[in-house]
Each structure stands twice: as structure tokens, then as C-alpha cells.
Amino acid sequence: MDDHYQQLLKIKEEKLIKAFEKNNISCMIVKDEKELKNYLKSILVHQKKVAVGGSVTLSELGVIDLIRESDVDFIDRYEEGLTREQMIERLREGLLSDIFITSTNAISMDGCLYNIDGTGNRVAAMIFGPREVIVIAGLNKICNNEAEAIEHIRQYSAPANALRLHKKTPCAQSGQCQNCLSPDRICSSYVKLGYQSQMYRIKVLIIEKNIGY
């Protein structure tokens, strides 16, 4: 990144931090994986109950492995050999965790988070249950406004997730949302998180790179 781009990024980041602040959501910029992991290590302590939302971002950043190595009680939805019933139980258990770590599908410059969810456990936990919610997202998730955020989700997040999960949906074929009624549809709950009554329960960590979708 050249100096001018860095300067522009800083201006946008400061604007975004203020917008989140207005919504009682804290927002912190981390420059790389090392900084991100140092922060996470400082909170992943004392046998806290920790759960995660399904996320490419978390896997790619090594967050799942970090949680497994930490002194926490990890409700590990990715443990090998789980039956579907056991997995669902873990998702249910995650709703009462101390810390819920997830990504988000899109962020608008007015400090809101936009998500689409198939099972719904991720958005449910973001709304209520876990004492603390940590949202980790790359720069590519930042959109100018609500319309752009929704478009990003319909045209990128959902089709890419449908492909990743081998879903037989129209978007996995065409690359575009067709508002399907397919049994494999992954878009069941559209959730926008804006002003929060509980101050800083949600903390957003923006990592200065493009990651996830």
C-alpha cells in the first residue's frame, strides 16, 4: 500500500470507528494476524466458554487453532466425527457462551453489521446470549451503505458460501442470487445489527487485508 492509500484508509477507518461508537459497538483496527492473535490471546483465558460462528475468515486467520490451544472451554463445532445431532447441540450450547467469535458478511460505513444465515445460530448468538461477541472482518467487507452491503451479500457472500458448502442452489451455478426457494437455500435469516442497548457487548476487529466473503 502506498502512503496516499494508507492515508485514505486511515480516514475511512476513523470514520467507521466513530460510526460504530455511536451504535455502542466498539471497533478496533488490527494491522495483521500477529496483532489480531495477540488481542485474542489476552481474552482467551480462565476457562471461559467460547464458541464460534461458521466462517472462512476465522479458519483462514488460524483463529480456530488458536482457540483450541488456549486455556478456554471451547465448544468445538468442528471436532472430527461429530454426528449432525451432536453438532446441532454444540451450536445450541454456543448460544450461552462467554465469548462468541464470528465474522460478518458486510459492514456499512454508518456502523452496522449485515448478515445472512442459513441455520441461524450465528445471527442468533450475535443478537443475544453470549456475554461478549467478537466480530473479525477484512477490509473487503466494508461497504458504503446499506444498499451496497445487501448487494455484496446477495452477489458475493451467499453464492460463495453456497459453492463452499456444495449446495445445489441457482447461485452456485450462475454466481448470482436468484432469490431461490431451493431446499438447499442458505439465506434464511437476514439480520442487520445497528444500535445496541448493551454497550460494547459487540466488538468489531477490522484486519487490514481482504479476507473471507
Contact between 160 and ligand SF4 per CB under 6 A = no
Least spacing, CB of residue 142 vs ligand SF4, in Å: 21
Least spacing, CB of residue 87 vs ligand SF4, in Å: 21
Q: Coil, strand, or helix at residue 140?
A: helix
Calpha distance 184→155 (Å, rounded) = 17
Q: Which residues contact 52 (CB under 8 A, 6 or more apart)?
A: 58, 63, 64, 67, 77, 94, 100, 101, 102
Contact between 54 and ligand SF4 per CB under 6 A = no
Which of 92, 185 has the CB closer to ligand SF4? Answer: 185
Per-position x/- string for 171-200, each x denoting binding to ligand SF4 as judged by CB under 6 A, each - no binding: x-----xxxx-x--xxx-------------
Q: What is the DSSP letter of 139?
A: G
Which of 54, 130 has the CB closer to ligand SF4? Answer: 54
Summary count for the chain: helices (H), strands (E): 9, 10
Calpha distance 80→34 (Å, rounded) = 27
Which of 170, 212 has the CB closer to ligand SF4? Answer: 170
Q: Which residues contact ligand SF4 (rule: CB under 6 A)?
A: 154, 158-159, 162, 169-171, 177-180, 182, 185-187
